Amino acid sequence: PTIPELEEVLQSAPRSCRHCDEVWPRLYLGDMFMSHNKLGLWQLGVTHVLNAAHGKLCCKGNDDFYGTTVKYYGVPANDLPAFDLSPFFYPAAEFIHQALTSDGRKVFVHCAVGVSRSAALVLAYLMIHHRHSLLSSVRCVQQKRWIFPNRGFLKQLIRLDQKLQGLKE
């Protein structure tokens, strides 16, 4: 799909703006408010946190913040079209995959708002580990949460999709 086609699909989805949504079994996507709610994460049974805005002022997560009961992974991404998120696609997907292949583990992926950086990493996970196309990954997540990765991330996801589908650029 082209960027305008993807943006049309993204725009067409209902806008749900909860702090946290389960977008895949045991995989939650959300915002910084939920990331700071240690009790809420504990009540959900979250065992792993992937922060796609690591080191940004709004998202203060780190290993010390969550303690020994939660495994933490930080991606220091900026939500800018010029930011290259693609080097983080495979490590983030692997972090999610390792957690979800163990019984009972749950992963919370977040950034500031939970619609661009973190959503792009969740889409990459579905593409890499579940062999979904970019479009089917978007539609899968959209059933549970409104997402809108920026144009730069969409371009990078299109390249990943082409690579995974064995197509040449």
| Catalytic annotation, residues | 111
CA 124 – CA 93 distance, rounded (Å)? 7
